[in-house]
């Protein structure tokens, strides 16, 4: 029978078969090779247990959280509290590009920010080729549009701690038991858990909450030579050299097109590119 891995809790995996979720321990031969999001072939052992026999080919595998077959990564960042850190956002988007996962930008806490602030960031990311949705988990603004974008898909929500990921999921899947955190907590030990759950959406599809981090260490996931092609909008331009780093090379189409006008590379995006490139240079 075909199943879908919908959670990982300690050494156990939860496999949805039809309408039911069974507990499974993967076969020795597959241990460590089955991830949440995987489609698997199983034998039903008893009332509560299945045995995974085989893992079907996956279309992608995000490294953190380790989730397979992701249709969409939703980068959830708040405009305020915490203030939007676009370097962090651009790291998340670049990692998503690298792993072949489409992504969408959610700017949350609209209720705390001015309209111009939202419109300014929206134009930066729409200009780069991303869909942008402004939301408020408090007033509910934008959540219908977000729902429409994610229904039927397997979606991972990622973004900094306190941005509102869990609050948004609670609104999208009411009745599901999730922990909403407090801003400003700290301590490295908090997020060491690797437990992962795909929450079923009422409209179909699954959403995965992840604990936020202050920043992602992009160097764990992306090599220096890869970064130039992970900025979507850079692909619109051509450069004289195929291995152009878009920093100093003659005939560089990116460098020649940095500007705030539509169709150009927004100066803020170019700035974060340089910061990330510099970071990757040092590793």
Ligand X SMILES: Nc1nc2c(ncn2[C@@H]2O[C@H](COP(=O)(O)OP(=O)(O)OP(=O)(O)O)[C@@H](O)[C@H]2O)c(=O)[nH]1
Question: How many C-beta neighbours within 10 Å does residue 138 have?
Answer: 14
Residue 111 or 149: the one with the smaller Cβ distance to ligand X is 111
What is the distance between the alpha carbons of residues 26 and 53, in angstroms, rounded to a whole number?
8
Residues 6+ apart with CB under 8 A from 11: 25
Among 87, 118, 147, 181, binds ligand X (CB under 6 A): 181
What is the distance between the alpha carbons of residues 110 and 278, in angstroms, rounded to a whole number?
32
Query: Measuring CA to CA, how many Å separate 86 from each of 122, 136, 160, 167, 183?
Result: 12, 19, 11, 21, 19
Min separation Cβ 156 and ligand X, Å: 13
Min separation Cβ 157 and Mg ion, Å: 8
Q: State which of positions 234-273 bind ligand X (CB under 6 A).
A: none
When CB distances are held under 5 to 8 angstroms depending on the partner's kind, the choice from Mg ion, ligand X, Zn ion, none that residue 167 binds is ligand X
Among 168, 227, 252, 276, binds Zn ion (CB under 5 A): 252
What is the distance between the alpha carbons of residues 235 and 229, in angstroms, rounded to a whole number?
7
Q: State which of positions 44-73 bind ligand X (CB under 6 A).
A: none
Query: 3-state DSSP call for residue 112?
Result: helix
Binding flag, residue 108, Mg ion (CB under 5 A): no
**Which contiguous run of DSSP H or E holds residue 251?**
none
Residue 127 or 134: the one with the smaller Cβ distance to ligand X is 134
Binding flag, residue 246, Zn ion (CB under 5 A): yes
Query: 3-state DSSP call for residue 121?
Result: helix
Binding mask 151-180 for Mg ion (x = CB under 5 A): --------------xx--------------
When CB distances are held under 5 to 8 angstroms depending on the partner's kind, the choice from Mg ion, Zn ion, ligand X, none that residue 161 binds is ligand X
Q: State which of positions 91-150 bind ligand X (CB under 6 A).
A: 108-109, 111-112, 136-138
Q: Are the CB atoms for 252 and 244 separated by under 8 Å?
A: yes
Binding flag, residue 216, ligand X (CB under 6 A): no
Residue with tokens 């072939």: 41
Contacts with Zn ion by CB under 5 A lie at: 239, 244, 246, 252, 254
């Amino acid at each position: 029978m075909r199943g879908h891995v919908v959670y990982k809790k300690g050494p156990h995996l939860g496999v949805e078969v039809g309408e039911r979720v069974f507990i499974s321990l993967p076969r020795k031969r597959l241990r460590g090779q089955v991830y949440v999001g995987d489609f698997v072939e199983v034998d039903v052992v008893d009332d509560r247990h299945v045995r995974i026999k085989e893992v079907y080919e996956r279309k992608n595998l995000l490294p953190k959280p380790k989730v397979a077959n992701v249709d969409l990564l939703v980068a959830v960042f708040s405009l305020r509290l915490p203030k939007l850190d676009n370097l962090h956002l651009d790291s998340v988007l670049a990692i998503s590009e690298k792993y072949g996962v489409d992504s969408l930008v959610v700017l949350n806490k609209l209720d705390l920010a001015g309209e111009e602030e939202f419109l300014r960031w929206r134009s930066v990311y729409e200009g780069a080729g991303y869909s942008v949705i402004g939301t408020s988990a408090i007033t509910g603004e934008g959540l219908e549009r977000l729902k429409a974008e994610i229904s039927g898909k397997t979606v991972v929500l990622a973004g900094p701690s306190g941005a509102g990921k869990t609050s948004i999921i609670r609104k999208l899947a009411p009745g599901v038991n999730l922990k909403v955190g407090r801003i400003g907590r700290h301590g490295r030990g908090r997020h060491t858990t690797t437990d992962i759950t795909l929450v079923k959406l009422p409209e179909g599809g699954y959403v995965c909450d992840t604990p936020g981090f202050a920043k992602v260490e992009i160097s764990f996931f992306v090599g220096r030579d890869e970064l130039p092609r992970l900025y979507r909008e850079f692909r619109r331009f051509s450069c004289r050299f195929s291995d152009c780093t878009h920093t100093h090379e003659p005939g560089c189409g990116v460098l020649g097109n940095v500007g705030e006008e539509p169709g150009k590379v927004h100066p803020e995006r170019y700035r974060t590119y340089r910061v990330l490139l510099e970071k990757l240079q040092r590793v």
